[in-house]
């Protein structure tokens, strides 16, 4: 039988040799070197790879002996035997030690572990990790090194491995840089929101805008929510068969996940002619009424678009301002997610395992409101930061998508 020429769809022009099939036992050794007390302890995370345990929200056994752990050096790959098939593997960039429950892969001569970290992220690799794992159920599967070592993958020469790894690392560094930029901007916005809204017990914010004449705006006024608007319910009388077709409705996660409603994420529900269901409109604020933790109760989102016939899910309720000049919709987006308002909302949470919030109690809350023009200035400023954040997120997702496309074509 003629040999099949195995090469990727996209390749650097200086390389022409075929990719050769290798068992992973030809590429890595199972390193069992003991740790020592001078080394930091790391763990493997599906989301973040190899990461310091200090940055994880876990209860760590502080009295574990260092020599019970495994030493890791830069360039090693470490994987979680129970989660390897889900991508729980990380590349070491520094010396550390890990739990003996992990497997430490040390690359043999002329093997680039960074290249393999990308290869192992591919769907075919994850499937093979699952297929070679042993266990009665998925939550008991384990990929031991002796089985991992039998897995075969097609790989290029060492020099081509290096070139591919370096090229893809450029994208990873770009993504990391953008993520840091996003985190800094989020912290900056959070700090500004604390200055642009009154502190606890205060009657005015620390930082204020001037009017168009450079003069101070009037003092903020206390207003009870029940005096400036009214509530309405979400869908009633609906069953599972009513959803998936029909009219658009605002879904729970549209509210929980964003301070403004994204029109692209509407669900569909069948509404019969003559049904008495509340329709939503521009300026409405929606609140979640139930959550697993008190900190997530009453999360708010605002509808900032004109819509025709749109409804609200049954797990939330709406608040409709009496006047959109007294409570500017764009300002509502930030007011109801401000630290001061969130503190008051959390106090309304009732329950033990599942928390709920009373609309009646919400309407008793008092908010401090500036006049319309000052509301608009605050909203415009914060919205400009959100637009910048959105552009960074778009760039991150675009870079990730492009990298994913390359991964599909630069490997076999």
- In tens, the pLDDT along 241-298 reads 999 999 999 999 999 999 999 999 999 999 999 899 999 999 999 999 989 889 999 9
Domain range annotation of the chain: 20-155, 158-213+371-412, 221-369
Mean pLDDT of the chain: 93
Q: Which CATH class is domain 158-213+371-412?
A: mainly alpha
Residue 55 confidence (pLDDT): 65
- What confidence tier does 203 reach under pLDDT thresholds 50, 70, 90? confident
pLDDT digits (tens, 9 = 90+) for 130-163: 999 998 888 889 999 999 999 999 999 999 999 9
Specify the CATH number for 20-155; select among 3.90.220.20, 3.20.20.140, 3.30.1300.10, 3.30.70.1400. 3.90.220.20
Residue 2 confidence (pLDDT): 47
Range from 5-14, 216-225, 255-264, 318-327 carrying the lowest mean pLDDT: 5-14
Alpha helices in 292-371 (DSSP H): 329-335, 339-346, 359-362
Taking each helix axis from N to C terminus, what angle separates 372-410 and 158-196, rounded to the nearest 10 degrees?
A: 170
The strand pair at 355-356 and 152-155 is best described as unpaired
State whether CATH 3.40.50.300 applies to domain 221-369.
no
Confirm whether 158-213+371-412 and 221-369 share one CATH topology. Answer: no
Residue 136 confidence (pLDDT): 83
CB 62 within 8 A of CB 104: no
pLDDT digits (tens, 9 = 90+) for 289-342: 989 889 999 999 999 999 999 999 999 999 999 999 999 999 999 999 999 999
- How far is it, in rounded angstroms, from Cα 309 to Cα 315? 19
* CA dist 339 → 193, 194, 345, 372 (Å): 8, 7, 10, 21
Nearest to 222 by CA among 207, 209, 203: 203
């Amino acid at each position: 039988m003629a040999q099949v020429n195995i090469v990727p769809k996209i390749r650097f022009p200086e390389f022409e040799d075929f990719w050769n099939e290798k068992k992973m036992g030809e590429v890595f050794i199972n390193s069992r070197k003991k740790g020592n007390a001078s080394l930091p302890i790391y763990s493997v995370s599906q989301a973040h790879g190899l990461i310091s345990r200090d940055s994880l929200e876990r209860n760590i056994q502080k009295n574990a002996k260092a020599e019970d752990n495994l030493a890791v050096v830069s360039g090693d790959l470490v994987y979680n035997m129970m989660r390897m098939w889900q991508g729980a593997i990380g590349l070491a960039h520094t010396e550390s030690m890990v739990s003996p429950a992990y497997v430490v892969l040390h690359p043999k001569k002329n093997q680039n572990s960074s290249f393999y970290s990308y290869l192992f992220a591919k769907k075919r690799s994850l499937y093979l990790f699952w297929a070679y794992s042993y266990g009665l159920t998925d939550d008991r599967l384990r990929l031991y090194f002796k089985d991992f070592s039998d897995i075969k993958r097609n790989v290029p020469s060492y020099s081509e491995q290096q070139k591919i790894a370096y090229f893809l690392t450029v994208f990873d560094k770009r993504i990391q840089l953008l993520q840091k930029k996003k985190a800094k901007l989020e912290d900056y916005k959070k700090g500004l929101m604390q200055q642009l809204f009154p502190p606890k017990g205060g009657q005015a914010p620390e930082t204020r805008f001037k009017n168009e004449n450079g003069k101070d705006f009037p003092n903020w006024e206390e207003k009870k929510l029940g005096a400036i608007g009214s509530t309405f319910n979400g869908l009633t009388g609906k069953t599972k068969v009513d959803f998936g077709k029909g009219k658009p409705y605002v879904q729970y996660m549209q509210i929980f996940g964003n301070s403004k409603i994204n029109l692209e994420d509407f669900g569909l529900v069948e509404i019969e002619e003559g049904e008495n269901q509340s329709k939503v409109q521009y300026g409405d604020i929606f609140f979640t009424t139930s959550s697993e933790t008190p900190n997530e109760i009453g999360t708010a989102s605002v509808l900032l678009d004109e819509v025709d016939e749109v409804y609200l899910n049954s797990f939330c309720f709406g608040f409709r301002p009496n006047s959109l000049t007294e409570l500017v919709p764009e300002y509502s987006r930030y007011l109801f997610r401000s630290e001061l308002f969130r503190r008051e909302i959390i106090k309304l949470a009732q329950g033990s395992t599942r928390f709920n919030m009373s609309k009646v109690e919400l309407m008793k809350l008092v908010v401090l409101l500036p006049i319309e023009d000052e509301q608009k200035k605050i909203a415009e400023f914060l919205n400009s930061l959100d637009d910048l954040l959105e552009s960074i997120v778009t760039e991150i997702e675009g870079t990730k998508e492009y990298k994913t496309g390359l991964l599909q074509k630069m490997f076999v």
